[in-house]
Structure 1
Amino acid sequence: MRQIVLDTETTGLEWKKGNRVVEIGCVELQERRPTGRTYQCYINPQREFEPGAQEVTGLTLEFLADKPLFAAVADEFLAFIDGAELVIHNAAFDVGFLDAELARLGDGYGRIRDRARVQDSLELARQRYPGQRNSLDALCKRLGVDNAHRQLHGALLDAQLLAEVYLALTAGQSEIGFAAPTPEQARADAAALPTAPLGPRPRVVVPEHELALHRARMAAIRERAGSCVWDVLEAPLSLEAEPA
């Protein structure tokens, strides 16, 4: 699956007030692996920044004065994201701004969701960490993503950080080919195993410290992936601790 992790920088917080996009940054993932392909462009917004917005990005109108208008980069940008799944933190913000820019170009350009699926990483984070701060900086800290070099907001830098955060946030058994089987699948797999003549079964005794490690590992998988293959087996093996 092709995914594009995307971020924008803007002149203010609301596109409905006429604020514009000043930077777009994208990072491409293929089957959850960075391909090395990125897309980044600065855009002349043809308007002033709102108070505070300029300090967040460090961009100035003087710097953006010779940059292309959105109309000049629209086709190249849309070709980069076309058919992909977009991963965006607080997607309503970025998609709203991009749709507003496309609307200025005419009906023929449509909307972002006409060209790409959208996954909101902020919603994923809120599901994983309800009641906690889920800003990009907070998630970097929580998930061990190094963002020490992020002194200002930049679309490409933030997209690169978000790509790392997203991969850590969604890492789990189903993402690496270990999707949990249904009970029916588990029974079918068991029935397909070769049988051997019945005989005395060895008694497996697990030392208490190994049993504790096993339980801790299963708990970590449940917390990270939301489920564990062990839990769906109809009759899991029982582990008997070795007497102290």
Structure 2
Amino acid sequence: MKRSVLFDTETTGLEATGGDRVIEIAALELIGDLPTGQAFHVLIDPERDIPPEASRVHGFTLADLEGKPKFADIADDFLAFIGDDELIAHNATFDFGFINAELDRLGKPPLDDARKVDTLLLARERFPGMPNSLDALCRRYGIDLSERTTHNALLDCKLLADVYVELTGGRQHGLSLGGLDGEDTLQAARYTRSATRTPVFIIPDENALAAHDAFVDAMPEPVWRK
């Protein structure tokens, strides 16, 4: 069964090649697109200051990271956890850019773009013209956001794992009707959960409908207007 890794980073800023550094990495193992409970999580000494505007986003100050390992200390463990498997992230270009900048500082090869699965792009395909941040998607799918008071890589991974299941068709998308070996048992369990879960009806508000209308109006001869 397919293994993939869903991951997220927190950083000192937005410029991966301009001196900003990674301060937190979280990653969750997925088997058949479902979390297994295996995780990688580490806080990192960025070897530089953390601007106040960045601290307001993720809640970390330099004092919080005092004594934590440097990226060089955890790089091999992170690479061993992700292996050669597919890598899933929300706005994946951002996270790939920061990890690759850190790897480049160590003279290590970058993550291959062919491994990248960007849930932001998946969401834009499914909900064109609508807000598709992680918060917006959680609200759309009825996923509890009460613990997300700041951006936290591990919590964001757990939320994104739920969002990813919904974006890829819900828990029925891998249904198998074969025998009950290890793989089919997991598929059968997935079907059982999906059969009992409450459907999430997505009802766009006025702002979402207006954004969608604007998106459609920008298309040449949209079929929705015929």
* TM-score, length-scaled by structure 2: 0.74
Q: Within 1, Cα distance between the matches of 2:137 and 2:15?
A: 24
Once the two structures are superposed, the pairs formed by residues 71-220 of structure 1 within 5 Å of their partners are 71-106=72-107, 109-113=108-112, 117-171=115-169, 175-177=173-175
Q: Which runs of 5+ in 2 are unaligned?
A: 177-201, 203-226
Following TM superposition, where does structure 1 have runs of at least 4 consecutive aligned residues deviating by more than 2 angstroms?
Answer: 172-178
Determine helix, strand or coil for the equivalent of 1:27.
strand
CA offsets 1:147-169 (integer angstroms, 9 cap, x no match): 11110111111011001100111
Q: CA separation in 2, counterparts of 1:60 and 1:3?
A: 31
Aligned residue type for 2:112: R
The C-alpha deviation readout for 1:80-113, integer Å capped at 9, x for no partner, is 001211110001100000000000001xx20111
Whole-angstrom CA distance in 2 between matches of 1:38 and 1:145: 21
Answer yes or no: is the 8 Å Cα contact 2:34–2:161 preserved in 1: no
Contact 1:88–1:94 (CA under 8 A) maintained in structure 2: yes
C-alpha separation in 2, matches of 1:5 and 1:155: 11
Give RMSD over aligned pairs. 2.0
Q: Which has the larger radius of gyration?
A: 1
For structure 1, list consecutive stretches of 5 or more residues without a partner in the other structure: 179-219, 221-244
Over the matched positions of the two proteins, sequence identity in percent amounts to 51
Report the CA distance between 1:174 and its aligned residue: 7.9
Distance in 1, matches of 2:153 and 2:104, equals 22
Q: Are the aligned partners of 1:140 and 1:165 in contact in 2 as well (CA < 8 Å)?
A: yes
- Report what 2:213 is aligned to: none
- The change in CA–CA distance for 1:80 and 1:104 in structure 2 (over 3 A counts) is same
**What does residue 216 of structure 1 align with?**
none
Shift of 1:15: 1.0
- SS of 1:110's partner is coil
Distance 2:146 2:172 in 1: 31
CA distance in 1, matches of 2:17, 2:100: 11
Deviations 1:117-145 (A, max 9, x none): 11000000000000000000000000111
Whether contact under 8 Å (1:23, 1:41) holds in the other structure is yes
Instruction: Indicate conservation of the 8 Å contact 1:42/1:64, yes or no.
Output: yes
Q: Displacement of 1:176 after TM fit?
A: 2.3
Q: Name the residue aligned to 1:188.
A: none
Q: Which amino acid aligns with 1:76?
A: D
* Equivalences for residues 28-67 of structure 1 within 5 A: 28-67=29-68
Residue of structure 2 equivalent to 1:23: 24
Report the CA distance between 1:3 and its aligned residue.
1.2
**CA drift at 1:173:** 9.0
C-alpha displacement of 1:64? 0.6
Could you say if the C-alpha distance between residues 136 and 173 of structure 1 is closer, same or farther in structure 2, counting changes exceeding 3 Å?
closer
- Partner of 1:28, secondary structure, is strand
C-alpha separation in 1, matches of 2:48 and 2:175: 49
